[in-house]
Structures are given as C-alpha cells and as structure tokens.
Amino acid sequence: MRIRILLFILLLSPASASLLARDSKYTRHGSGPKYWIAYAWCYDNDRPIPEDRWQKNIDWMAENLRDHGYNMISNDGWIEAAQTINENGYITKYCSYWKNGFDYWNKYIKDKGMNVGVYYNPMWMTRAAFFANTVVAGTDGIKTTEIVGHHNFNDQLFWVDVRKEGAEQWIKGYVRYFINLGVSYLRIDFLENYERNYGTEAYDTALKWISEEAGEELFLSLVMPNCYKHGETEIKYGDMIRVSNDCFDGGWNFVSARNRGKRRSHWPQYDNVFDGFIAFSDITNPGQLIADGDFIRLSSLRDLEERRFEFSLMVMAGSSLTVADEYDTATKEILEVYTNSELLALNNEGFVGNPYSMDITSPLSSCWFGEAKNGDIILGLFNREEYKLPFKIDFVDMLGLESPYVENIRDLWTHKNLGAHSKSFDVVLDPHTCKIVRIQPGKKSSSKSGFFSGCTR
C-alpha cells in the first residue's frame, strides 16, 4: 500500500521539486507542528497582543494543551511596534511597550515545558535600526543605511536588498540571532511583497541565505508565498508553506466557502483552506513541504460538526495544528476537539493524506486517504455542500484491496469500532460534516496500479 501511495505522489509531483526539496528533519517527519499563536486577539483588535494576555495564554496552554503535544508558543504579526533594538540592530522585544523582551519570555515559555516560535522576516530592517545606522554584524564597517532597498515594506519596516554588499551578513545574522535566543520556529511573512518588489531571483537568494544559516536548527515557515511554478522556489528552502489566504475571522468562509473553486496566479492563489490543501497536495508530502493551513479558530465556527470538520481536514492534509483560540474563548467542547487522541496520534506519527482528485472543482477532491504507519488506511470524507451527500467507498476497486472484506473500521470521532465490513463503506453526510475512519484491511492487492480508482457520490 505504501509503495502505491508513493507512486501516486511521484506521478503528481514535478520531478525537479522532489530533487531540489530542502528535505529537512521537519519535512521528513511529514505532518506539521502543534502550537499556539497570538493571532486572534491581534486580528480582532488590530494591534499587538497585550503582555498580560500573552502570559495568560501561555499559562492556559501549559495547563490544557501542552500534554497533548501542543508544545510551542509563537507571537504573530503587528510587528511594526517592535522598535527596541540591540547593538546589531536586531529587535529585542515583540513590542516596544512591553516590559519584557525575548530573553524573559523565551525562558518563561521554556520553563513551562514548551518551545519558542517567533514571527519575523530576516529581510526586514526596523526604522530604528535604519536611523541608528549601526554597523552590520560580520562586515567591515558596512552600515545599515547602505543595505536597504528602493522599496520599503511600510513606514516602520524597510526591506534589505540582497544585491547590496552586507545584505547576506544581515539576513544570516538575524537568523543566527534568533537561534541563539533559543527559538526553534521562524514564521517568515509577506514573502510575496519582497518577490513582487525585488524579483524572483532576489527572493530566491534571500531564502537561500536563510535556509543555509538555519540548517536544521530552525524550522522555516514560509508565509504569503506566490508559489510561482507550483512552489519551485519555496520547495528548495522552506519546511512549510501557506496554501491559502489568511484565516482572518475564521468561520466556514475560511474553511471551505471563500471564493471556492477560484485560483489566482499569485498570492493568495486560493482563498479557502480546503481548496489550498487540494491544489498543493502533490508537493506537501514527507521530504518535500509541510502544508500550512494557517490558524484554527474553532470558536468562530457554528457548531461541533463544523469544528470537527476543520480539525479533521488539518490532520488529513498533514498541516500544522495551530491553535488561535484563547484562554477565554475556548470552551470545554472546543478543547475536546483539539485533544482528540486518535487524530493527534496521526499527526504525531507524521501522517499526511492526499485527496483522490487534485481538481478543486471535482467532488472527488472531498475524499481524502492515506496510510498509517501500521498499514491501516485512514479515510476522510468531507461534505462541503449545503445538502446531504452519499459516499460509497469500494474496498476492491477504490482501496486496492485483494479481498472485499475488511477486518474492522473504526470511527475516529466516536472512538467506536464499527466492526467488519464487506465490499464497501457507505455513509450519508449532512452539510458541513465529515467522517474520519481507520480501516484495518485484510489482504492488500499487489496487482492494483493505483491507490484509488474512483470515489462515487
């Protein structure tokens, strides 16, 4: 079964992408990290998260989700307020009006038994660093004012131009600075802006320098990438890529409905995360890239079924599981979704599934599959529609089994064994619901050339 999945992947994937992938210990694991990010409050209030709220969320994560594998905390965005710098021009705080800086909070997080992620782009230079006109670390007197480019990101952040002497030392120095702070995850945002203003060649160079310095000491999350030529640049240098537009205020719109079925040639190519997962599923596989489905705001969804739908989709796609709900927005029901032990076990082992069809307009793209490490088949069926849908999965013709008999099917949400089945698995799903099952097969056919041959509705 595993051989057939790999053949399926290779048939879909550009040969050059497989050869040039960064292929780090992170991508070889397969699925993405589990962590909390300070996005929801910042987005809803359009400003940096207050320091006391930051602490409350860290404490809440340590108490409720850390022991379920959510072992990292990361800031996010609204970074223009970070204008407190050290002698090399690197930021020392997430926000200048915070009392404490990275040193304090990184220790606080690690003392809680979790790792540290940082949102920042090493190609940025703060207004404070520019006007301080400090010497770029690692150079023979090159000043910060000498390496900025012709186009700023905004009034508070400038872009460094890789074509200028000293730019490499700045970018690599920033990466090393974060590593020395004990950071294990770097979320690098607004990549499309740099590529648009400085060109793909300069963009490639900047990511190459970041990747070289990071090695396997730092997980590289590439955010807002254009993914031209189906991620040709990103796959060489990143561990994880965003596959669709921002979460914003969440809801079903973000999960499945926003501009469904439509694609752009540049960022964001897709506006809802379901479409993005489908379209990039051939390069978001172990050893290539991890799919980043952005942030999970379960509290923004209307009911338990929609919450299970989103979380299941993230697990089936091998995405990072990024909690954006907070200590005062996550109900007991929401925590129960985040802590589904059988789905988390799949993420822990590096499980990554694939849609039966990569055509985002095809109903077959709502059927997802993959193989667990013990050989069981993980099947995910998703109803994105506003009406009931029947699904029928034939064990021989569609799962490639030699026998029409399977020993057991287990529902991963009800945690119940459904027993032995013969011929097929049949289910009717209500709108905005899903069914995630673990199929314990009998004999597997060696004559089937594909994992699936069809998925009917």
Are 343 and 57 a contacting pair, CB within 8 Å? no
The CA distances from residue 348 to 140, 232, 311, 320, in Å, are: 46, 28, 15, 11
Instruction: Determine the Cα–Cα distance for residues 273 and 244; give it in Å rounded to an integer.
Output: 5
Are 370 and 338 a contacting pair, CB within 8 Å? no
Are 326 and 40 a contacting pair, CB within 8 Å? yes
Instruction: Determine the Cα–Cα distance for residues 80 and 131; give it in Å rounded to an integer.
Output: 15
Instruction: Determine the Cα–Cα distance for residues 231 and 238; give it in Å rounded to an integer.
Output: 10
CA-based torsion, 146, 94, 153, 131: positive or negative: negative
Are 94 and 138 a contacting pair, CB within 8 Å? no
Are 322 and 296 a contacting pair, CB within 8 Å? yes
Catalytic residues: 189, 239
Cross-strand pairs, 44: none
Instruction: Determine the Cα–Cα distance for residues 70 and 34; give it in Å rounded to an integer.
Output: 5
